[in-house]
Amino acid sequence: MKSPIWATLIASLLIAIPATAGKKLTIDSFTDGDNKSEQGGWWYVYDDARLGGNSEMTPSGCTLTPTKGTDAQGYAAHVQGTTGNKLGWDYFGFGVTVAKDSGCPNQNKVNLSQYSTLEFKIKGEFSGGRLVVLIPYHGDTCEGNVPETMTHWADYETSINADITSEWTTVRLNLRNDFKQPFWTKPEDRVSIETVLKSVSVLQWHFSSADGDTLDVWIDDVVLY
């Protein structure tokens, strides 16, 4: 007969297996229409105002609450805005903490190394500039709501400009092949993608331009597998 301790351990393992079997993690399908992800994280927006920039975006403030799609069938994340012209690398963007406490102030980061692909749906339009998906590499401390950068902002990124069309398109990004650190990354800021994937706090969609370009974009059904 198994002891109560072993019975408890076996039960715990059986509960944990379905969460990783198939290696699929739904970040958010937006079906509930709120700014909380299905993993307990939070959707947020950000811009360059704290650095003296003058980019403008909607929604403003900090929170990104999904809105009804243009076909009135379900919700999706919707952001629109215009980059400024003061910094030379003006920007705005949005993101999601991958778990309840993975962002500031707790920074309890998540190991995503078991996944190979980030998938989401996108549609929209833009006049120029560059929209990238970022996997920031953050430290354990925050200054207000701004996490410590371990790469001096030279984070793994991949451009998705080619995927922005007026119709919904499914984007599939290979976490190890499609994401690269920028060419201007200093040697001391180079870090392996495996190191980054083992310590993820947020995922971000980051739009930048120095020419006052506009972006109007919708995102839906964000998953990892």
Contacts of 66 (CB under 8 A, 6+ apart): 30, 33, 34, 35, 43, 75, 76, 77, 78
In a domain, 13, yes or no: no
State how far the alpha carbon of 166 is from the alpha carbons of 100, 114, 122, 124, 218, in Å.
Answer: 33, 33, 9, 5, 10
Q: Which amino acid is at 152?
A: H
Mean pLDDT to the nearest integer, 111-121: 97
Q: Over the stretch 178-217, which tens digit does the pLDDT of each residue have?
A: 999 999 999 999 999 999 999 999 999 999 999 999 999 9
pLDDT at 23 over 50: yes
pLDDT at 4 over 70: no
In a domain, 84, yes or no: yes
Q: In the chain, how many domains are there?
A: 1
In a domain, 144, yes or no: yes
Mean pLDDT to the nearest integer, 146-155: 96
Displacement of CA 149 from its chain's centroid (Å): 15
pTM of this structure? 0.87
* Residue 44: CA count within 13 A, CB half-sphere: 15
Q: Over the stretch 37-62, which tens digit does the pLDDT of each residue have?
A: 999 999 999 999 999 999 999 998 77
In a domain, 15, yes or no: no
Q: What per-residue confidence (pLDDT) applies to 17?
A: 24
In a domain, 175, yes or no: yes
